[in-house]
């Protein structure tokens, strides 16, 4: 080979080495980017699964109505949904609705565990009284400072709920620093008071402590919320950087009149719109190779044709299981997994397991449960706005019925099984045809949320219990009010008829259970000793026993202080539910069941009195064997 030929050959080799090296560099760089994208995407997807948000916007105040909070809340709700948050939203909410929303939010956070990211956004009126911040519901009746703690929702209660939930990260945003419109603030205090964020949290205010924020142009959004929604959409920004951008934008928009402010003690990073992944970090990039020849720069890389996997078939939908045949409730047996659990040491080993079965399927707190008259089916009502029917023998879900526009607080079957009655926090009662699922009547008359509903044994009268501290009787045929029972010192949570229809039982947050004479409305007996309020009550079929549901222990259990206990129940901090079985005539307590991990919101007896049903804030329904206490010894054999 001549020298000229060798030079040409060696140049060709060097050139192709350069080309191949360049290709390898491009593929390596692309592989690094792809791997980073995969890991970043997976991390964001995992994080998004545990993102939960509560959004409240209050504007329709009777005094000093606001223009934009509902618009602001809707904008934030939509923005948070696009970023993977499960959003609980409430607009123009009264005090009860706000507290119920916080309760449902708290229950969801506990379900998601310590890896959850919590985000709370509130727009509306907020005031400070003696250094304490309060969020104002639209149904406020505040005449003085003393009324604020009663009619409003304290920010400290919400912060306590977040701290008890032990989420890894919590963000609270308050676009609520408007002027105090109620005329009772002392010393000319404006806006909200400074808040020190607990560990792992960030609290953001639309303006600095003690200052008032601007509501913005009517029919639009506040300057603060508009800037926040825009900044949160930008990928690659940590939450602290988001609020820095918001502060700059709001100051520019208001010409320095409004300066947003935050208090933070975050210990980790959070990217609302995800971290940037378009370029690999500098440390991950390979060192650049020598400049590539023009031949490579001008080349076009065509993608490979799409490859099809031989024998691949579309995924087929799994066949639906056949509907089980109904069996009488007497045939109910403890499930296999329940029977394998150890019996507590305090119980003899030869006793049957008390818990028979759990029903799961609701996505929100279970607020009410009821047996069908023949005992073969179970109905449940939930904060997720649904009514469900279940097979009592198998635990299988049979139907989901349309519910109220708000949370369904109570459900009851008529004695003949033809009608279903429901109550809601929208202050109404509804009657439904069980066969068709059609709504047949709406009953109104309570001034606040209706918490419980019950049919009389004859099915002609309906009883209800409400946050207005009363129980009422209604004529089922006409929907007319027949009688009002007054005497509880706090909201009434539950109501039940005795089997003969002569007595009415009611439970209340005043920590008592009362029995009333139906015909006269006279109070007959009062049972006390419920340290955290009575949430539910039921008579046994023979009228000899009373079942009640409440909370046995909370996450921050303060003893000897009923006020704290009430806050704990309302804000979902209960960690151990309580079901108590009593003798109706004397109030003697026979047994307490404590296996629920949340408030016990509803209890019911089976038609034969052998079993009890309970629905809880922990989103489960449990079936219990109570025959040992309610049945004669010979009947249990």
For residue range 436-446, list pLDDT tens digits in order: 778 889 999 99
- What are 490-531's pLDDT values in tens digits? 889 889 999 999 999 999 988 888 999 999 999 999 988 776
The DSSP code sequence of 324-378 is: PPP--GGG----HHHHHSPPPTTS-TTSPPSEEEEE---SS-EEEEEE-TTSSEE
The DSSP code sequence of 533-584 is: ---EEEE-TTSSEEEEEEEEEETT--TT-HHHHHHHHHTT-EEEEEEEEEET
Count CB neighbours of 146 within 10 A.
10
- Tell me whether residue 337 is in a domain: no
CATH number (domain holding residue 196): 3.40.50.1460
Question: Which residue, chain included where needed, has tokens 């929604």?
Answer: 229
Side by side, the strands of the sheet bearing 600-605 are 355-359, 621-625, 611-616, 600-605
Residue 34 has pLDDT above 50, yes or no: no
CA distance linking residue 46 with residue 157, whole number of Å: 29
Task: State residue 2's pLDDT score.
Answer: 44
Q: Residues 152, 107: one domain?
A: yes
Residue 22 has pLDDT above 60, yes or no: no
Report whether 366 contacts 382 (CB < 8 A).
Answer: yes
490 burial (CB, 10 Å; 0-12 / 13-18 / 19+) is middle
- Tell me whether residue 338 is in a domain: no
* Rounded alpha-carbon distances, angstroms, from residue 242 to 128, 233, 267, 271: 26, 9, 16, 9
Q: Residues 127, 35: one domain?
A: no
What average pLDDT does the segment 585-606 reach?
A: 87
Residue range of the domain that includes 208: 50-264
Q: Residues 23, 115: one domain?
A: no
543 burial (CB, 10 Å; 0-12 / 13-18 / 19+) is middle
- What are 555-568's pLDDT values in tens digits? 443 333 333 233 33
- What are 401-427's pLDDT values in tens digits? 766 777 788 899 999 988 989 998 878
Residue 112 has pLDDT above 50, yes or no: yes
From the CA atom positions of the chain, what is the Rg in Å?
Answer: 31
- Torsion over CA: 238, 124, 569, 420 (sign): negative
Nearest to 98 by CA among 359, 328, 425: 425
Report whether 556 contacts 544 (CB < 8 A).
Answer: no
Nearest to 578 by CA among 557, 561, 606, 609: 557
Q: Bridge partners of 144?
A: none
Residue 47 has pLDDT above 80, yes or no: no
Structurally, how many domains does the chain consist of? 3
Report whether 561 contacts 580 (CB < 8 A).
Answer: no
CA distance linking residue 46 with residue 357, whole number of Å: 32
Task: State residue 292's pLDDT score.
Answer: 38
CA distance linking residue 238 with residue 302, whole number of Å: 38
- Which secondary-structure segment (H or E) carries 45? helix 3-49
Considering 236, 264, 292, which residue would you say is the last residue of a domain?
Answer: 264
Task: List, in order, residues 6 or more apart from 4 with CB less than 8 Å away.
Answer: none
Q: Residues 86, 210: one domain?
A: yes
Q: At what angle do helices 155-165 and 95-112 cross, to 10 degrees?
A: 10
Task: State residue 475's pLDDT score.
Answer: 95
Q: Residues 483, 423: one domain?
A: yes
Decide: helix, strand or coil at residue 636.
helix
Nearest to 198 by CA among 237, 171, 173: 171
pLDDT tier for residue 285 given thresholds of 50, 70 and 90: very low
Distance of CA 4 to the CA centre of its chain: 82
Report whether 485 contacts 503 (CB < 8 A).
Answer: no
CA distance linking residue 485 with residue 471, whole number of Å: 5
CA distance linking residue 40 with residue 46, whole number of Å: 10
What average pLDDT does the segment 166-179 reach?
A: 84
- Tell me whether residue 586 is in a domain: yes
Residue 40 has pLDDT above 70, yes or no: no
Decide: helix, strand or coil at residue 123.
strand
Interior/surface letters 477-488, b for 16+ CB within 10 angstroms, e for the rest: eeeeeebebebb
Q: For the CA atoms of 184, 190, 191, 195, what is the dihedral angle to 10 degrees?
A: -90
- CB half-sphere exposure, 298, CA atoms < 13 A: 3
Considering 206, 237, 264, which residue would you say is the last residue of a domain?
Answer: 264
Residue 430 has pLDDT above 50, yes or no: yes
- Direct distance between the N- and C-terminal alpha carbons of the chain, in angstroms, rounded to an integer: 108
Report whether 151 contacts 140 (CB < 8 A).
Answer: yes
The pTM for the full model equals 0.44
The DSSP code sequence of 265-312 is: ---S---TT----SS--GGGSPPPPSPPPHHHHH---PPPPPP--TT-
Q: Residues 29, 92: one domain?
A: no
Q: Residues 459, 589: one domain?
A: yes
Q: Tell me the backbone φ, ψ of residue 440, rounded to 5 degrees.
A: -110, -25
Task: State residue 237's pLDDT score.
Answer: 92
Q: Residues 78, 148: one domain?
A: yes
- Tell me whether residue 333 is in a domain: no
Q: Which two tokens stand for residue 592?
A: 């307490």
Task: State residue 554's pLDDT score.
Answer: 59
CATH number (domain holding residue 477): 2.130.10.10
- Tell me whether residue 278 is in a domain: no
- Tell me whether residue 238 is in a domain: yes
Residue 163 has pLDDT above 80, yes or no: yes
- Tell me whether residue 498 is in a domain: yes
Task: State residue 43's pLDDT score.
Answer: 42
Q: Residues 97, 14: one domain?
A: no
pLDDT tier for residue 478 given thresholds of 50, 70 and 90: very high
Considering 264, 284, 318, which residue would you say is the last residue of a domain?
Answer: 264
Side by side, the strands of the sheet bearing 132-135 are 126-129, 132-135, 153-154
Q: Residues 432, 532: one domain?
A: yes
pLDDT tier for residue 311 given thresholds of 50, 70 and 90: very low
Task: State residue 505's pLDDT score.
Answer: 93
Which is it for strands 117-123 and 51-57: parallel, antiparallel or unpaired? parallel
CA distance linking residue 272 with residue 95, whole number of Å: 30
Q: Residues 365, 258: one domain?
A: no
Task: State residue 584's pLDDT score.
Answer: 86
Q: Residues 157, 127: one domain?
A: yes
- Tell me whether residue 594 is in a domain: yes
Q: Which two tokens stand for residue 438?
A: 């059609």
Q: Tell me the backbone φ, ψ of residue 510, rounded to 5 degrees.
A: -80, 10
């Amino acid at each position: 080979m001549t020298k000229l030929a060798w030079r040409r050959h060696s140049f060709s080799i060097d050139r192709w080495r350069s080309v191949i090296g360049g290709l390898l560099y491009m593929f390596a760089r692309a592989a690094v980017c792809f791997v980073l994208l995969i890991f970043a995407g997976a991390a964001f997807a995992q994080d998004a699964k545990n993102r939960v948000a509560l959004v409240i916007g209050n504007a329709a105040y009777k005094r000093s109505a606001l223009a934009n909070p509902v618009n602001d809340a809707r904008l934030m709700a939509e923005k948070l949904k696009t970023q993977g948050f499960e959003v609980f939203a409430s607009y123009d909410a009264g005090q009860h609705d706000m507290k119920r929303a916080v309760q449902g939010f708290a229950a969801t956070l506990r379900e998601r565990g310590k890896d959850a990211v919590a985000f709370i956004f509130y727009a509306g009126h907020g005031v400070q009284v003696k250094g304490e911040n309060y969020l104002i519901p639209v149904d406020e009746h505040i005449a003085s400072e003393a009324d604020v703690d009663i009619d409003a929702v304290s920010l400290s209660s919400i912060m306590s709920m977040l701290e008890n939930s032990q989420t890894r990260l919590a963000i609270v945003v308050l676009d609520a620093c408007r002027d105090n419109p109620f005329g009772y603030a002392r010393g000319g205090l404006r806006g909200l008071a400074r808040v020190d964020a607990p560990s792992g949290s960030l609290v953001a205010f639309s303006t600095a402590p003690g200052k008032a924020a601007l509501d913005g142009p009517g029919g639009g959004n506040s300057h603060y919320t508009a800037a926040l929604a825009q900044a949160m959409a930008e990928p690659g920004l940590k939450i602290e950087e988001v609020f820095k951008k918001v502060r700059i934008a709001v100051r520019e928009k208001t010409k320095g009149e409004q300066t947003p402010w935050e208090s933070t003690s975050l210990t980790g990073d959070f990217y609302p719109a995800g971290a940037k992944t378009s370029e690999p970090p500098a440390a991950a990039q390979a060192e650049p190779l020598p400049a590539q020849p023009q031949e490579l720069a001008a080349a076009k890389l065509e993608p490979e044709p799409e490859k099809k996997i031989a024998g691949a078939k579309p995924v087929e939908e799994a066949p639906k299981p056949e509907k089980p045949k109904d069996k009488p409730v007497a045939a109910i047996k403890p499930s296999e997994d329940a029977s394998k659990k150890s019996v507590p040491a305090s119980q003899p080993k030869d006793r049957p397991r008390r818990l028979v079965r759990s029903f799961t399927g609701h996505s929100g707190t279970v607020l009410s449960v009821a047996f069908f008259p023949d005992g073969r089916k179970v109905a449940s009502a939930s904060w997720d706005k649904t009514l469900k029917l279940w097979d009592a023998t198998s635990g299988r879900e049979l139907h989901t019925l349309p519910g109220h526009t708000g949370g369904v607080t109570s459900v009851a079957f008529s004695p003949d099984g033809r009608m279903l009655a429901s109550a809601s926090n929208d202050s109404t009662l509804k009657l439904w045809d069980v066969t068709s699922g059609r709504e047949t009547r709406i009953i109104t008359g309570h001034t606040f949320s209706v918490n419980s509903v019950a049919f009389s044994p004859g099915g002609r009268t309906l009883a209800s219990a409400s946050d207005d501290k009363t129980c009422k009787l209604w004529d089922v045929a006409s929907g007319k009010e027949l009688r009002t029972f007054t005497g509880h010192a706090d909201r009434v949570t539950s109501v039940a008829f005795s089997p003969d229809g002569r007595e009415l039982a009611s439970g209340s947050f005043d920590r008592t259970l009362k029995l009333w004479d139906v015909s006269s409305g006279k109070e007959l007996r009062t049972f006390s000793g419920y340290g955290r309020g009575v949430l539910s009550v039921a008579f046994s079929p023979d009228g000899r026993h009373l079942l009640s549901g409440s909370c046995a222990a909370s996450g921050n259990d303060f003893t000897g202080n009923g006020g704290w206990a009430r806050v704990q129940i309302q804000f979902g901090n209960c960690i151990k539910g309580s079901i108590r079985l009593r003798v109706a005539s004397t109030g003697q307590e026979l047994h307490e069941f404590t296996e629920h991990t949340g408030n016990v919101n509803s209890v019911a007896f089976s038609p034969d009195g052998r079993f009890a049903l309970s629905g809880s804030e922990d989103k489960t329904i449990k079936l219990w064997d109570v025959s040992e206490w309610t049945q004669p010894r010979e009947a249990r054999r």
